[in-house]
Amino acid sequence: MHEHDDAAPSCTSCHRALHPIEATRWACAGCQQQAAQQLADLPTLHRQLADVLTPGRGAHVVGSRGAYGPRPPADLDVMDLTDPRVGVIATLVSCVRDWVETSREGDAGGTLTPPEWPAGPDARLAALCRWLRWHLDWACGMHPGVGDSLRDIQQVHQHAHSRATGERGERRVTVACPCGGLLRVGASTPSATCGTCGTRYGHDDVLRLPLAPRAMAAAAA
Ligand SMILES: [Zn+2]
Ligand SMILES: [Zn+2]
């Protein structure tokens, strides 16, 4: 059984107070759900990034800004992100290593076995995402450092999503859930989960939420 040091345990990812029934866990249900969804989305986003990189394959991206010809193929930003050594895959590999190592220490509730590493970036990424989703519940329950992993997953997902869809410059706003929780959303946000109460909003519903008061929005940005 793990215990938080302080009297009021909070999620190591979003830092909100944990519900009493999850007080011995390290991440809240909302953060866990969000990470599961991001891991489910990543293989598709990664393939779309490859399309952006390969002239002729990315018909859905080319021309989205008007008929001024295709995007430059050598987009360094995208290259970095899909480079297996520094991009999405490297980030997820380091999460896997971290979780496996942690599971071998003390009372972490069993030893995790690392996944097979299939050849090819698409297959490898799919295997990584599947493995992390399988062990996400363990990590949120047993891994004191899971907050770092969840932030890494969120960051690569956000970056991959904005690069794959060409929406880097999209204006994002902070909206308020009826429970008081805040969500950062943009016109292309497919869905969002409130980190405070765990309510999941579809695309239309999340855009109908009221804008957060300016001071709160500034604190959340
Ligand atoms: Zn959380
Ligand atoms: Zn809420």
Ligand that lies nearest to the alpha carbon of residue 33, given by its number in the listed order: 1
Whether 6 has a pLDDT exceeding 90, the answer reads no
* Chain segment 97-116, per-residue pLDDT in tens: 999 999 998 666 678 998 88
Query: What distance in angstroms lies between residue 27's CA and the mean position of ligand 1's atoms?
Result: 5
> What's the gap in Å between 90 CA and the centre of ligand 2?
33
In this structure, the chain runs to a length of: 221
pLDDT in tens, 143-172: 999 999 999 999 889 888 887 776 555 677
107-138 b/e (C-beta count within 10 Å ≥ 16 → b): ebeeebeebeeeeebeebbbbbbebbeebbeb
pTM > 0.75: yes or no: no
Distance 112 CA to ligand 1 centre (A): 23
Q: Which ligand sits nearest to residue 180's alpha carbon?
A: 2
